[in-house]
Amino acid sequence: MARRYFGTDGIRGSVGQAPITPDFMLKLGWAAGRVIEPRRQRARVLIGKDTRISGYMFESALEAGLSAAGVDVMLLGPMPTPGIAYLTRTFRADAGIVISASHNAYQDNGIKFFSAAGAKLGDEVEERIEAALEEELTTVAPDELGKATRVDDAAGRYIEFCKSTIPERVSLHGLNIVLDCAHGATYHIAPAVFKELGARVSLIGASPDGMNINREVGSTHPAALRAAVIQQGADLGVAFDGDGDRVLMVDADGHEIDGDDMLYLIAKDRHQRGELVGGVVGTLMSNFGLAAALEAMGVPFERAQVGDRYVMERLAANGWQLGGESSGHIVCGHVQTTGDGIVSALQVLSYMVREEQSLSRLLNGFDKAPQSLVNVRLPDGTSARKVMADPRLKEAVAAVEKELAGQGRVLLRPSGTEPLIRVMVEGRPHLDVEGFAKRLAEGVRELL
Topology match between the domains 11-151 and 371-446: no
* pLDDT above 70: residue 13: yes
Q: Under a CB-based contact definition with an 8 Å cutoff, are residues 101 and 81 in contact? A: no
Q: Is 102 a catalytic residue?
A: yes
CA distance 385 to 447: 13
For residue 122, give the DSSP letter: P
∠371-315-334 over CA atoms, to 5°?
A: 105
Q: If we measure between CA atoms, which residue out of 74, 80, 51 comes closest to residue 62?
A: 74
Superfamily of domain 371-446: Alpha-D-phosphohexomutase, C-terminal domain (3.30.310.50)
Question: Domain map of the chain by residue range?
Answer: 11-151, 157-256, 257-342+351-363, 371-446
Residue of 102, 326, 344, 372 with catalytic role:
102
For the chain, counts of helices (H) and of strands (E): 15, 18
Q: Please give the model's pTM, rounded to 2 decimal places.
A: 0.91
Annotation: CATH topology of 11-151:
Alpha-D-Glucose-1,6-Bisphosphate; Chain A, domain 3 (3.40.120)
The pLDDT tens digits for 85-137 are 999 999 999 999 999 999 999 999 999 999 999 999 888 999 999 999 999 99
Q: CB under 8 Å to 301, separation ≥6 — which residues? A: 279, 280, 281, 282, 290, 291, 294, 295
User: What mean pLDDT is predicted for residues 355-366?
Assistant: 95
* pLDDT above 90: residue 8: no
Cis peptide bond N-terminal to 19, omega within 30: yes
User: What mean pLDDT is predicted for residues 245-274?
Assistant: 97
Could you give the angle at which helices 341-355 and 81-90 cross, rounded to 10 degrees?
Answer: 100
Q: CB under 8 Å to 424, separation ≥6 — which residues? A: 285, 371, 372, 373, 374, 410, 411, 412, 437
CA distance 201 to 203: 7
Q: Under a CB-based contact definition with an 8 Å cutoff, are residues 328 and 263 in contact? A: no
CA distance 81 to 382: 30
* pLDDT above 90: residue 200: yes
The alpha helices in 237-358, defined as continuous H runs, are 259-272, 288-296, 308-318, 341-355
CATH 3.40.120.10: does it fit domain 157-256? yes
Superfamily of domain 257-342+351-363: Alpha-D-Glucose-1,6-Bisphosphate, subunit A, domain 3 (3.40.120.10)
| Terminal C-alpha separation, the chain | 30
Q: CB under 8 Å to 174, separation ≥6 — which residues? A: 198, 200
* Distances from the Cα of 357 to the Cα of 44, 235, 325, 353, 363, angstroms: 46, 11, 25, 7, 10
Q: What is the mean pLDDT of the chain?
A: 95
Would you list which residues are annotated within the binding site? 102, 241, 243, 245
* pLDDT above 60: residue 1: no
The pLDDT tens digits for 157-192 are 999 999 999 999 999 999 999 999 999 999 999 999
pLDDT on residue 375 = 93
Containing 74, the helix (H) or strand (E) segment is strand 72-78
SS (H, E, C) 350-399: HHHHHHCCCHHHHCCCCCCCCEEEEEEECCCCCCHHHHHCCHHHHHHHHH
Would you list which residues are annotated within the binding site for Mg(2+)? 102, 241, 243, 245
The pLDDT tens digits for 144-164 are 999 999 999 999 999 999 999
